[in-house]
Amino acid sequence: MDKLIIRGGNRLSGTIPISGAKNAALTLIPCALLTEEPLTLRNLPRLADIDGFQHLMTQFGVSTGIRGKRPEEFGRVVTFEAAHLTSNVAPYDLVRKMRASILVLGPLLARAGEATVSLPGGCAIGNRPIDLHLKALEAFGANIELTQGYVKAMAPDGGLPGGDFDFPVVSVGATENALMTAVLANGTSRLFNAAREPEIVDLCNLLVAMGAEIEGIGSSDLTIHGVKKLNGATYKVMPDRIEAGSYACAAAITGGEVRLEGACEADMHSTNAALKSIGVEIESDKHGMTVRADGQLKATNLSTAPFPGLATDMQAQLMSLLCKAEGTSVLKETIFENRYMHVPELARMGANIETEGRTAIVKGPADLTGAEVMATDLRASMSLIIAALAAEGETQVRRIYHLDRGYERLEEKLQLAGADIERVGDE
User: Which of 131, 132, 91 has its CA nearest to residue 115?
Assistant: 91
What does the per-residue mask of binding to ligand UD1 show for 367-406, with x meaning CB under 6 A? ----------------------------------------
**Binding to ligand UD1 by residue 131, rule CB under 6 A?**
yes
User: Which of 230, 147, 151, 152 has its CA nearest to residue 185?
Assistant: 230
**Binding to ligand UD1 by residue 181, rule CB under 6 A?**
no
Per DSSP, the three-state class of 76 is: strand
Q: Which of 123, 249, 264, 323 does the annotation list as catalytic?
A: 123
- Whichever of 68 and 129 has its CB closer to ligand UD1, that residue is 129
The CA distance from 370 to 424, in Å, is 17
**3-state class percentages of the chain: helix first, strand second, coil last, to nearest 5:** 35, 30, 40
State the minimum distance, in angstroms, from the CB of residue 195 to ligand UD1: 6
Query: Which residues are paired to 143 by β-bridges?
Result: 154
**Binding to ligand UD1 by residue 293, rule CB under 6 A?**
no
**Binding to ligand UD1 by residue 171, rule CB under 6 A?**
yes
**Binding to ligand UD1 by residue 25, rule CB under 6 A?**
no
Region from 81-89, 214-222, 265-273, 311-319 binding ligand UD1, contact rule CB under 6 A: 311-319
User: Which of 379, 388, 389, 359 has its CA nearest to residue 314?
Assistant: 379
- Whichever of 6 and 95 has its CB closer to ligand UD1, that residue is 95
The CA distance from 323 to 313, in Å, is 18
Which residues make Cβ contacts (< 8 Å) with residue 79, sequence separation at least 6? 38, 39, 40, 41, 64, 65, 67
- Whichever of 199 and 257 has its CB closer to ligand UD1, that residue is 199
Query: Does residue 31 carry a catalytic annotation?
Result: no
User: Which of 40, 47, 41, 39 has its CA nearest to residue 74?
Assistant: 47
- Give 357-421 as a 3 state SS string: CCEEEEEECCCCECCEEECCCHHHHHHHHHHHHCCECEEEEECCHHHHHHCCCHHHHHHHCCCEE
State the minimum distance, in angstroms, from the CB of residue 353 to ligand UD1: 20
Region from 10-18, 130-138, 341-349, 359-367 binding ligand UD1, contact rule CB under 6 A: 130-138
State the minimum distance, in angstroms, from the CB of residue 175 to ligand UD1: 8
Per DSSP, the three-state class of 59 is: coil
- Beta 288-292 vs 301-303: how paired, if at all? unpaired
Q: Are 45 and 19 in contact (CB under 8 A)?
A: yes
- Beta 372-374 vs 359-364: how paired, if at all? unpaired
Applying CB under 6 A, among 6, 18, 26, 185 the residue interacting with ligand UD1 is 26
In the Cβ-directed half-sphere of 94, how many Cα atoms lie within 13 Å?
20
Applying CB under 6 A, among 28, 50, 155, 174 the residue interacting with ligand UD1 is 174
Applying CB under 6 A, among 335, 353, 384, 397 the residue interacting with ligand UD1 is 335
Region from 36-44, 256-264, 310-318, 418-426 binding ligand UD1, contact rule CB under 6 A: 310-318
Report the run of H or E that residue 133 belongs to, with start and end.
helix 131-139
The CA distance from 80 to 59, in Å, is 13
**Binding to ligand UD1 by residue 105, rule CB under 6 A?**
no
Report the run of H or E that residue 190 belongs to, with start and end.
strand 188-192
**Binding to ligand UD1 by residue 66, rule CB under 6 A?**
no
State the minimum distance, in angstroms, from the CB of residue 238 to ligand UD1: 12
**Binding to ligand UD1 by residue 313, rule CB under 6 A?**
yes
State the minimum distance, in angstroms, from the CB of residue 32 to ligand UD1: 17
Neighbours of 284 (CB within 10 A): 16
Number of residues that bind ligand UD1 (CB under 6 A): 20
Query: Which residues are paired to 386 by β-bridges?
Result: none
Region from 143-151, 170-178, 359-367, 383-391 binding ligand UD1, contact rule CB under 6 A: 170-178
What does the per-residue mask of binding to ligand UD1 show for 198-237, with x meaning CB under 6 A? ----------------------------------------
**Binding to ligand UD1 by residue 130, rule CB under 6 A?**
yes
Residue nearest to ligand UD1 (CB): 173
**Binding to ligand UD1 by residue 133, rule CB under 6 A?**
yes
Catalytic residues: 123
- Which residues of the chain form contacts with ligand UD1 (CB under 6 A)? 23, 26, 100, 128-133, 169, 171-174, 195, 311-313, 335-336
